[in-house]
Chain A
Amino acid sequence: NAGVTQTPKFRVLKTGQSMTLLCAQDMNHEYMYWYRQDPGMGLRLIHYSVGEGTTAKGEVPDGYNVSRLKKQNFLLGLESAAPSQTSVYFCASRSSPGTGDEQYFGPGTRLTVT
């Protein structure tokens, strides 16, 4: 199993450009999450999904959109990138609810917006 993979690993955008980050998991997990990590801020939840076709806002959703058309994929979109979105983005997944299962994290995408 590859676990959780993220594409791309690095990206540089200019202000106003758009892009989509792809997260894929091969563990048949129901729940998927998008976080951003900034120095001194820890992990902040952007959006999450509790199943195929469902999404919900997290702590810092503004400027981002997500889609979960297939159970194994969770896409994070930036419609008009801003320098404040320079960050490292992590995707995570976990299995069905009602358990104490831990999250599995991808390797991250380092995004710079100039």
Chain B
Amino acid sequence: AQSVAQPEDQVNVAEGNPLTVKCTYSVSGNPYLFWYVQYPNRGLQFLLKYITGDNLVKGSYGFEAEFNKSQTSFHLKKPSALVSDSALYFCAVRDPLTGGSYIPTFGRGTSLIVHP
């Protein structure tokens, strides 16, 4: 079985400061990991993913995430937050060994609020 946890419902950060949104996962084998962002009244948009290779993954809008196998984590980071980064962020995991349905499991989401 696969699962993902986002331990923080909300993260507050001042503009210009670094931000981190946490995600931990559980899968049987090697995971496929994804981050999505949802702006108000919009659908989810893909930010970045880890499939294999370099543990540090760079994505859209200056975001990056670090895959840590020993800690089973995939935290989303950005060196300098912008007010426009305020949104709902979802982590998702998919176990490539699970059947043919390829259904990812989504976390409950973390609301990021960047204060001016």
Interface residues of chain A, those whose CB is within 8 Å of chain B, are 4, 31, 33, 40-43, 45, 48, 50, 56, 58, 90, 92, 94, 97, 100, 102-108
Contacts and interface: CB of A to CB of B under 8 A. Distances in A.
A4 B45 CA distance: 12
A46 to B, nearest CB: 12
18 contacts: A31-B102, A40-B9, A40-B108, A41-B108, A42-B90, A43-B90, A45-B103, A48-B101, A50-B101, A56-B101, A97-B102, A100-B32, A102-B34, A102-B46, A103-B44, A103-B46, A104-B46, A105-B43
Interface string B40-55: 0111111001011000
Interface of B: 9, 32, 34, 36, 41-46, 49, 51-52, 90, 96, 100-104, 106-109
Nearest to A6: B43
Nearest to A97: B102
Contacts of B49: 100, 102
Contact of B109 (A42, A90, A92, A107): A42
Main secondary structure of the interface of B (DSSP, over half): loop
B103 A58 contact: yes
A90 B42 contact: no
Given A42-B107, A97-B102, A100-B49, 15 more contacts: A4-B43, A40-B9, A42-B106, A43-B106, A45-B103, A48-B103, A58-B103, A94-B102, A97-B100, A100-B32, A100-B52, A102-B46, A105-B36, A106-B43, A107-B43
